[in-house]
Homo-oligomer: A and B are copies of this chain.
Amino acid sequence: MGRSALWTAIRDTLVRDIGEGHYAPGQRLPTEAQLAERFGVNRHTVRRAIADMADQNIVFSRRGAGVFVRHIPTPYRIGRRTRFRQNLAAAGRVAERRILSLETRGASAQEAKALRLAKGDAVHVYEGISLSDGAPLALFCSVFPADRFPKILEHLTENGSVTAALAAHGVSDYTRKSTEITAKAASKTHATLLELPVGDPLLRTVAINIDSAGKPVEFGRTWFAADRVTLMTGDA
């Protein structure tokens, strides 16, 4: 045996092929049998290379169907000034929001604490789907104090933009106080709305946005399809 394993060379070749666009995102690779013939190796050796690429989230395989190139995840910057449209524009994607529901109800304990309200105080709630280039990227649930933003649901109906709706209520700027990030497997409801298999990992962020005076203006929860996004903090 040489200095490095045979399967690593096969992996590197396939990774280069994908990088050069011979196999586009979403497209199927040749079958394991075909690749084994192409490289003149056993099918197990090809499988070892594919397993490593799957580990690196470059491809994924579906039994009975084939091995597919993953979509390039949208980079999504999380920082003091996190804006959905700006983030997607920076990644060269077309941002879109689809409204699932708009309602007014009493705040839960968690929502009340985040917005510095009493439990049961009226809040406006905006639920929907974020799309990137037409594909579902995330589900979100934004909660606003109803007394301070009485007409926010109407503004959201028109435009969908949280930034614009807050601006219409005199909040010219807001910043993110904190973000919590967790992950969990997709439930059936999540999976259906995001068009992915049940059990696929979701990235969940919980954020509090405050105005320039430090008062909470929005409590937001978002569930990202994990294989369609990379959350980023800091410079790079």
Contacts and interface: CB of A to CB of B under 8 A. Distances in A.
A187 interface: yes
Interface stretch (A25-33, A89-97, A177-185): A177-185
Nearest to A189: B55
A178 B57 contact: no
A231 interface: yes
Contacts of A116: none
A55 B119 CA distance: 21
Contacts of A232: 178-181
Interface residues of A, number: 33
A161 B200 CA distance: 34
A226 interface: yes
Contacts of A160: none
A202 B226 CA distance: 10
B181 A199 contact: no
A233 B233 contact: yes
Given A55-B187, A236-B177, A182 B203 contact: yes
Contacts of A202: 183, 201
A124 interface: no
Nearest to A190: B55
B57 A226 contact: no
A179 B73 contact: no
Contacts of A55: 187
A235 interface: yes
A78 interface: yes
Contacts of A235: 177-178
Interface in A193-209: 199-203, 208
Interface of A: 55, 57, 73, 78-80, 176-185, 187, 199-203, 208, 226-227, 229-236
4 pairs of A and B residues whose beta carbons are closest in the complex? A178-B236, A178-B234, A183-B226, A201-B201
30 contacts: A55-B187, A57-B182, A80-B234, A176-B234, A177-B234, A177-B235, A177-B236, A178-B232, A178-B233, A179-B233, A179-B234, A180-B230, A180-B231, A180-B236, A181-B181, A181-B203, A181-B231, A181-B232, A182-B203, A182-B229, A182-B230, A182-B231, A183-B183, A183-B201, A183-B202, A183-B203, A183-B226, A184-B227, A185-B185, A201-B201
